[in-house]
Amino acid sequence: MPVPVMANTNPLHTISNMFDSRAQFPDWERRVVDHFTKELAMPDASSTIPSLNLVQNHSIMDGQLVRFRCMVQDMFDPEFYLAQYQVRNTKDGSMRTLCGRYRDVVSCGPGEELVTDGAECETRDRLALYCVSPPGEAGWVVDHFRRLGGVEAGPSGTRTNNLKRALEGEAGEMEVESEASADPALGGSEISKKQKSEVSGSCPPGQLQGGQQPSLNLPLPSSHGRASIVKLYDVKDGDIKLNDLIEVVGIVSLDPTMAAPEGDDEMGNSPSLPPPSLVPRLHVLSFSHLAHNNPLLPAAAPFP
């Protein structure tokens, strides 16, 4: 189903316009944050922004505004990126400067090539976090947020399809165990133990056996758990810590070119990250700390 084109589906266009006016407004980065902070403070603004906790990844569009209620599970090393870069027209040699902030990939039009050593190219770093849905979150909490956001749940709640897959997988494992135990000549429990150890020990964390889709690496199994690689700009040390519960609003990045082939390692010292179709990248425009994830309690803690 196509996503309607609304103001919050193309925030990068607004950012590009502010970047182009940097000669007149050198503090254009602050103006971007102030603009979206003002927009998000408007009544019912959050209700128009889809939540990664509630919608499927295929229902959102690359480059649109989304929000995510999550816990910081891991912190990566600072990520270097092209804050601004230049592209050259291969026909007439003219050059133009583009903004790389809030993006994962550079943008080159037809007949253009990237210039990495141009006079106006600038490299910066940003903070990258691996964030997951609040661990152990009950199904009624997700259903409550669904009702608040106008998102309909399945006929059996939020666990319908995913739980069914999990049960089918468990049933398959039970069949293997029963077949092995039915034949005494096969060693019964020894074979089943060996099969279990092979399945659990042959795959690295976050990746399934046989080239299957990698998992979300959630701290607690959850049928409605989500994950995202959250990227923040100009954050001071200590503003966000490990295991913090936060809610972020930002620009989602789903570019398929970021899906590294299996076994490919860009830096040579860490496993490749899951593709953005499974774990979206989120460039944060605004974030806030959450005291808890109970929708029936006040947002702020009543006691100091």
Q: What is the pLDDT of residue 200?
A: 39
105/109 Cα distance (integer angstroms): 13
More confident residue, 80 or 301: 80
Question: Which tens digit of pLDDT belongs to each residue from 84-116?
Answer: 999 999 999 899 999 999 999 988 888 999 998
Look at residue 260 and tell me whether its pLDDT is greater than 60.
yes
Look at residue 31 and tell me whether its pLDDT is greater than 90.
yes
Provide the b/e sequence for 183-194 (b: ≥16 CB within 10 Å): eeeeeeeebbee
Could you report how far apart the first and last alpha carbons of the chain are, in Å? 46
Q: What is the pLDDT of residue 269?
A: 37
User: Phi/psi zone of residue 232: left (φ > 0), alpha (ψ -120 to 50 degrees), beta?
Assistant: beta
Highest mean pLDDT among 195-204, 242-251, 252-261, 295-304: 242-251
Residues near 152 by beta carbon (within 8 Å), at least 6 away in sequence: 146
Its pTM stands at 0.74
Inter-residue contact 63 to 251 (CB < 8 Å): yes
Band of the pLDDT at 222, cuts 50, 70, 90? confident
Look at residue 140 and tell me whether its pLDDT is greater than 80.
yes
Look at residue 126 and tell me whether its pLDDT is greater than 90.
yes
Look at residue 272 and tell me whether its pLDDT is greater than 50.
yes
More confident residue, 295 or 178: 295
Mean pLDDT for 242-247 is 95
13/36 Cα distance (integer angstroms): 13
Weakest mean pLDDT among 16-25, 120-129, 185-194: 185-194
Q: What is the pLDDT of residue 69?
A: 94
DSSP per-residue codes, the chain: -PPP--GGG-HHHHHHHHHHTTTT-TTHHHHHHHHHHHHHTSTTTGGGS-BTTTS-GGGS-TT-EEEEEEEEEEEPPPEEEEEEEEEEETTT--EEEEE-TT-SS----TTEEEESS-TT-EEEEEEEEEEESPTT--HHHHHHHHHHHTPPPBTTBTTHHHHHHHHHHHHHHHHHHHHHHH-GGGTTHHHHHHHHHHHHHSS-TT--GGGPPPP---SS--TT--EEEEEESSPPTTSS-TT-EEEEEEEEE--GGG-PPTT--SSSSSPPPPPTTTS-EEEEEEEEE-S---TTS-SS-S--
Average of per-residue pLDDT values in the chain: 77
Look at residue 210 and tell me whether its pLDDT is greater than 70.
no
190/230 Cα distance (integer angstroms): 44
Query: What is the DSSP pairing of strand 245-253 with strand 79-89?
Result: unpaired
Look at residue 275 and tell me whether its pLDDT is greater than 80.
yes
Q: What is the pLDDT of residue 116?
A: 81
19/224 Cα distance (integer angstroms): 38
Look at residue 35 and tell me whether its pLDDT is greater than 90.
yes
154/139 Cα distance (integer angstroms): 12
